[in-house]
Structure 1
Amino acid sequence: MSNEDNRTEFRILFGKQIEKLRTDQKLSLRQLAQRCDLDHSDIAKYEKGEVNIKLSTVYELIKGLQLSPQTVFDFEFYFKDSNIKLEE
């Protein structure tokens, strides 16, 4: 699997995590957008993993979800390259 494939998979998994956390709080895209400085249509794109996301955008999502960064990044992801060693 190429590095780009890993990046794409990470974006998709991150987006699914954001969507899960949003729906767990019973927030619509518009409600989340009102809590942070983002447009609801952009949040939908992030949730689908369609676009790359900036750290400042991650900050806004964390602020809007009112969660810790640890919670937002608490999802499983494994590099598909056998040369990459993950710390346990």
Structure 2
Amino acid sequence: MGNGKRHMERVAIGQTIRKIREAAGFSLRELAALSEVDHADIARIEKAETNAGLANILELAFALKVPPEDFFTGDLKKIKPSSK
């Protein structure tokens, strides 16, 4: 059961990262260039196929100009689209 809960948490985090990325107007490749996280890794994180890892979370948050905790709260109301 714990494993299913962890998977659902990865799904929620991945969906939140995707929504923030899309709200900011970035493609996977554009975010990869800004964050130095491979675009394929970002896609796998967004689809919950892999764990994000702290280093990737920090890189993505910095590139998207949001606090890392925004990935975990799922509260998209306070997230404003970033200008490229």
TM-score normalised to structure 2 length: 0.83
Does 2:44 align with 1:45? yes
Q: Does 1:60 align with 2:59?
A: yes
Distance in 2 separating the partners of 1:20 and 1:50: 17
The corresponding residue for 1:31 is: 30
Structure 2, unpaired ranges of 5+: 76-84
- Length-normalised TM-score, structure 1: 0.79
CA RMSD in angstroms comes to 1.2
CA deviation string 1:23-74 (max 9, x = no partner)? 0011000010011121101100000000112111111111111111232222
Classify the secondary structure of the residue corresponding to 2:69.
helix
When the two structures are aligned, how many residues end up with a matched partner? 75
Identity of aligned residues (%): 35
Between Structure 1 and Structure 2, the one with more helix by share is 2
1:9 corresponding residue in structure 2: 8
Bigger Rg over Cα: 1
- Where in structure 1 do 4 or more consecutive aligned residues deviate above 3 Å? none
